[in-house]
Structure formats: structure tokens, C-alpha cells
Amino acid sequence: MNSSQYPVDGERLWRTLAELAEIGATPAGGVARVALTDVDRAGRDQFVAWVQELGCTVHVDQMGNLFARREGTDAQRAPVVIGSHLDSQPTGGKYDGAYGVMVGLEVLRVLHDSDVSTAAPVEVVSWTNEEGARFPPAMIGSGVFAGAFSLDEGLAAPGVDGTTLGDELARIGYAGDEPCGAPDGAGRRPVGCYVEPHIEQGPILEAAGVTLGAVTGVQGIRWYDVSIEGQSAHAGSTPMEHRCDAMVAAARLLCEADEIAGRRAPEGRATVGTLAVGTGSRNTVAGSVNLTVDLRHPDAAELEAMHDELLAFADGPNFGPQESSAASSGVSQHSGRSLPRPQITPIWYSPPIVFDHAVLEALRSGAVAAGFEPVDITSGAGHDACYVSQVAPTGMLFIPCADGLSHNEAESILPEHATAGAQATFNAVLTLAG
């Protein structure tokens, strides 16, 4: 039973999510609001318009992180910040990131409509480039804010399309002048505590028939760029033992990455999400292949071991000159063949994260007051909360998504789950903001 003092407006939240999803809507029912494109700008502009209707002030920092602020009665207190991200994957869903920002907007709307005063200010933030699809690595906006990257590194981040993050930020008019974070905290906007509502992006809550998850932490993440330089050759006239086939080498590395995760089921995760062939012709042996690897595990030591196994495999006998195997092996080998050795470049490490006990307690009791018994869950996906947790007490709240599907245009949630997450978040914010 919802014993919340101030009910959120689930209808309004659902309408707002649908309106936002119109910005960058794709024919397949998802969204494409890739970071710092004109569509991302349109999503940002819409959010600004909505919060200005509530009398919030809007602040943009040097990384384009976008803050809406509602003053509290105690000017000395640092704000309770709710947030997530408005950028999406190229073939993203309507709710990844958008849900958390729109829940923050709904919290501001209820505070405004009910004329509720909070001691601490309340802010809602949309972080720049959470997805990292266009400007790897992921979560750069919150990363610079938390001092994990310097501002120069953030702005210089090269896009997969030849642009830089800083140029595109300026082009869309969101290169703010507010200082954005620093390792020593100088200039960083104060954050009293941070709450990120998000869809689970996995199957656990739905399978358990649970509406709300208190996210106790996030698994560790390692990203790699891999380049494989072989030799392009004629598909017909080049005998197998004379080849240096980059595609076969890529296939071996891809299968081993899968094995490395498989040996650590169910927590271990490995993904080769992109693979680009240099020559790309059906009757030419691939001369060069570039691919990416994403490894994840909740335990830092296990993730380190996965890293070591991946690099050791690339250094091992599965590449370079291939011995002709005795017939006994049964595997058809081509004696004299050589396979190009993958060059693996680690580009990002996000350590496993444990969230703040007090913030999680506020979220759990907020969920109970909203009429739901939350369960504890670890996040498989990375979030801006990972970096924010390094500079402020942080917690997350999950709602289920259908079939655990995300980073997919078919991503969907139930209106009642959206409302439940918003009510629990509102209740927690009221507690945290006094």
C-alpha cells in the first residue's frame, strides 16, 4: 500500500517519457539520441524547457553536464541530486538513461505542485556521453566531474566519426562555463548525495516478479581496442598455408573472449560488440580487422584474471606460425600457415563499485513507503553513479524491463513499474533532503 505523503503522477511521468521518446524516435520503436548529435541537443533543450516551467535554474558545466536546480531552505546544504543520461545507444531503447532523468523531473514537478520546501536544494542532472558509443570510453561526463579524467582528456575524446567531444559540445551549444570537477574537488558543483533510478537492463527483477531493486553496487568493466594486421590475398589462388588471415585470427580471439567469460559463469561477461574489416571483399582474404572487447565481473581480482587471460591468449601459440598438427588432432590445420597476432590496447577500466549504505537505506525505505518490498541487486551495466560514488554518497534504484532487454529498440517497461520507481525515489529524496 502506498503510504507516501505526496503521490507522484504516474500518468504524467508516462506521457513525459513518451514525449521524450519522440526525440530521436526510430522506425523500430527505439531511440537514436547519440551523444552530442543534433538529436541529443533536442533532448537536452526539451529537458531545459520542462524544468524552466518549474522555475528551476539551469547550469551547464564545461563537459556539458546539465543540472536543473530547485533551491532549498538551507543555503548551506549541498543538494540531493537525482539523475542519469539523455544520450542513447545508436539503436537504443526509450528508457535507458531517460527513465532516471524523467523521474528526477517528476520529483521536481511534485515538489513544485505541492509547494513542498526541502532543507537541501534538489537538483536533477543529465550527464554527458554516458553511453560511450560515439566517444569512448563510457561515462566521460561524470568521469571528468569525479576527477577520473582531466577536462582536457574529456574534451579531446576522439569520436568514432572523426570528431572530438569538445568540438561537438560547442557545436550543439552545450559547452558550459561552469567548472567541471577536478581530482581535488576544486570547482566541482557540490553534491550532498546522488540517486540514480534506472531500468535493470537484465532479467533478474522480472524473473523474480519483483518491482524494485536496491542496487548495492556495479560490476567492474574493462574495454579494449584490438587491431589485427594480416595480409590481404586472393581468395581463390592463395593456398590456405600461404595465408595470414586477419579474419580467422579475429575469430579465434572472439571465441576465446567468450570462453574466458564462460569459465566464470554466471558473473563473467565478455562482448565483442564491433568488428570492422579493412578490405571487406568476399573474395579477398581479410588483411586487417579492428574489433573491441568489453570484459566485466563484479570481483576486481577475477576481472584482472580475465584481463591476463585475454592478453596471454593473444601472446600465445594460437597466433604466429602455426605448427602442422599430427593427423591425430583431428582438427584440420594447414601446416606453414601463420595467423596475425592481435594487438590489444586497454582503453578503459571502471573498478567494481559498492554504493553508500545510508543512501541505499533511504531508497529501501522509500520503496517500502511506496508499497513495495525491494530486493538487493548488483548492476551488470555501468552507470554515471559509478563515478559520482567516488565524490558523493550514491545509490541506485532499479525497475524491471521486459525480458531484461536493453541497448535494443524493443526495450520496454510497465507504467506501474515506472510509477513505483518514481514514488520510491521521491520518498527517498524527501528523506535525504530533509
- Chain positions contacting ligand HGY, by CB under 6 A: 130-132, 138, 381-382
Query: Between residues 271 and 279, which has the closer beta carbon with respect to ligand HGY?
Result: 271
CB of 130 to Mn ion, least distance (A): 6
Query: Between residues 96 and 123, which has the closer beta carbon with respect to Mn ion?
Result: 96
Query: Between residues 201 and 288, which has the closer beta carbon with respect to Mn ion?
Result: 201
CB of 4 to ligand HGY, least distance (A): 30
Beta-carbon contacts of 54 under 8 Å, excluding residues fewer than 6 positions away, are: 68, 70, 108, 109, 112
- Burial grade of 98 (CB within 10 A; 0-12, 13-18, 19 or more): buried
CB of 87 to ligand HGY, least distance (A): 10
Q: How far apart are CA 260 and CA 1, in angstroms?
A: 46
β-pair partners for 348: 223
Among residues 40, 61, 87, 96, the one that binds Mn ion under rule CB under 5 A: 96
Instruction: Select from ligand HGY, Mn ion, none the partner in contact with residue 97, using the beta carbon and a kind-dependent cut-off of 5 to 8 Å.
Output: Mn ion
Q: Is 30 in the site for Mn ion (CB under 5 A)?
A: no
| CA dihedral sign of residues 69, 393, 434, 187 | negative
Q: Is 87 in the site for Mn ion (CB under 5 A)?
A: no
Number of residues that bind Mn ion (CB under 5 A): 2
Q: Residue 118: helix, strand or coil by DSSP?
A: coil
Q: Is 40 in the site for Mn ion (CB under 5 A)?
A: no
CA distances from 220 to 197, 381, 398 (A): 20, 9, 18
Instruction: Select from ligand HGY, Mn ion, none the partner in contact with residue 168, using the beta carbon and a kind-dependent cut-off of 5 to 8 Å.
Output: none
Residue 85: closest CA among 107, 60, 65: 65
Query: Between residues 40 and 96, which has the closer beta carbon with respect to Mn ion?
Result: 96
β-pair partners for 376: 214
Phi, psi of 51 (to 5 degrees): -80, -25
CB of 382 to ligand HGY, least distance (A): 4
Q: Is 196 in the site for Mn ion (CB under 5 A)?
A: no
Query: Between residues 132 and 268, which has the closer beta carbon with respect to ligand HGY?
Result: 132
Instruction: Select from Mn ion, ligand HGY, none the partner in contact with residue 382, using the beta carbon and a kind-dependent cut-off of 5 to 8 Å.
Output: ligand HGY
CB of 95 to Mn ion, least distance (A): 9
CB of 135 to Mn ion, least distance (A): 14
Among residues 72, 97, 213, 220, the one that binds Mn ion under rule CB under 5 A: 97
CB of 424 to Mn ion, least distance (A): 18
Instruction: Select from ligand HGY, Mn ion, none the partner in contact with residue 143, using the beta carbon and a kind-dependent cut-off of 5 to 8 Å.
Output: none
Q: How far apart are CA 278 and CA 289, in angstroms?
A: 6
Q: Is 202 in the site for Mn ion (CB under 5 A)?
A: no
Instruction: Select from Mn ion, ligand HGY, none the partner in contact with residue 138, using the beta carbon and a kind-dependent cut-off of 5 to 8 Å.
Output: ligand HGY
H or E element, residue 260: helix 246-262
CB of 400 to Mn ion, least distance (A): 15
Query: Between residues 189 and 383, which has the closer beta carbon with respect to ligand HGY?
Result: 383
Q: How far apart are CA 229 and CA 249, in angstroms?
A: 9
| Angle between helical axes of 246-262 and 300-315 (0-180°, round to 10) | 150
Find the Cα–Cα–Cα–Cα dihedral 361, 362, 368, 374, rounded to 10°: -50
Q: How far apart are CA 331 and CA 99, in angstroms?
A: 50
Q: How far apart are CA 294 and CA 227, in angstroms?
A: 15
Which three three-digit cell numbers place residue 390? 567516488
Residue ranges in contact with Mn ion by CB under 5 A:
96-97
